[in-house]
Amino acid sequence: MMRVFVMLSTLVTQWPVLSATVLVALFWAHAPEQASAGDAGFEGRIEAVERSDVYSRAEGIVEEVLVEQGDYVEAGTPLLRLRNDLEKLAVNAANAELVKAEALLLQARDRLDRAAQLSTRGAATEVALLAAETNLALAEAERALAETELEIAQTNYEDTLIRAPISGHVEDPRVGPGSLVEFNSGDPPLFQLVNLNRLRVVFEIPYPQWVSGLNTGNTRSEELSNSGRFRVETEIGQVLPDAIRLTGSAVWFDENSGEIRVWADLENPDLTLRPGMKVRVTPMVHPVTGAEQDHSMVRP
């Protein structure tokens, strides 16, 4: 070790310029990576404003999957069909019970009418009239019950056809024909739907910077000023043609980092932006003075 030190000392003495170059190179090789003085950007990510996990309210065997990965569907579009033989039979049985209840109700009304006519002539007792009225009330209750049973059966039948709750692209189908579907919200969803037309970029900025830009003018507390604009660049160097403006901020800020989460809505007409992408968000700079524009906004 002592010999190495002596050799290095001799080298430094003889070639001062070279030694200075070596020391500078070693310093930059081991110095921590830092942002440039003009780099005022923030790391952000793309998130979907509308996404939905699709579950089933019915239990059964998958008869047919009607969509594939990446398909775009409108809200209400059928996604999956379960075997529904039993549910169809239940609807038929409930319909028959309703027809029976309506016939009994019609019969009870006729008996009450006859009992009322006989009572006015003195040919029927009040007991007979009361019995007819009671039978009518029971028949009406039976008809109401039959209607409810039919509605339940029809709902169970309709639940075997699972529809899209929102418009969006199908992501990660987890079932196929023959799969057993159980009603359990803790299981992985059958599908995920993601609306790629409604995206936002989410990033964190220092809380003091956010506070310094609070707009205390005449705007309502829920509104954000339009003066703050940001430039968005994707990981592959794609720069969005339009600057974004903040549309919301979190209620809480991170006391450890001293930052607050903010977001801005994005246009995605060509569907090239996808949730999960990392982006670089940079405040727009005045073209003449180079000063950062005021990102005025009000408290959320």
β-partners of residue 192 are: 53, 171
Condensed to tens digits (0 to 9), the pLDDT of residues 196-250 reads 999 999 999 888 877 776 654 444 434 444 346 889 999 888 899 888 888 889 9
Query: Are 58 and 156 a contacting pair, CB within 8 Å?
Result: yes
Whole-number pLDDT of residue 82 = 96
Compute the average pLDDT of residues 267-285: 89
| Single-letter amino acid code for the residue at 114 | R
Query: Are 162 and 63 a contacting pair, CB within 8 Å?
Result: no
Domains of the chain with CATH codes: 42-49+196-283 (2.40.30.170), 51-82+160-194 (2.40.50.100), 84-159 (1.10.287)
Strand order in the sheet with 78-82: 161-163, 78-82, 60-65, 180-181
Distance CA 91, CA 153 (A): 5
DSSP string of 149-164, one letter each residue? HHHHHHHHHHTTEEE-
Determine the 3-state secondary structure of 208 from DSSP. helix
Compute the average pLDDT of residues 92-111: 96
Is the whole model's pTM more than 0.85, yes or no?
no
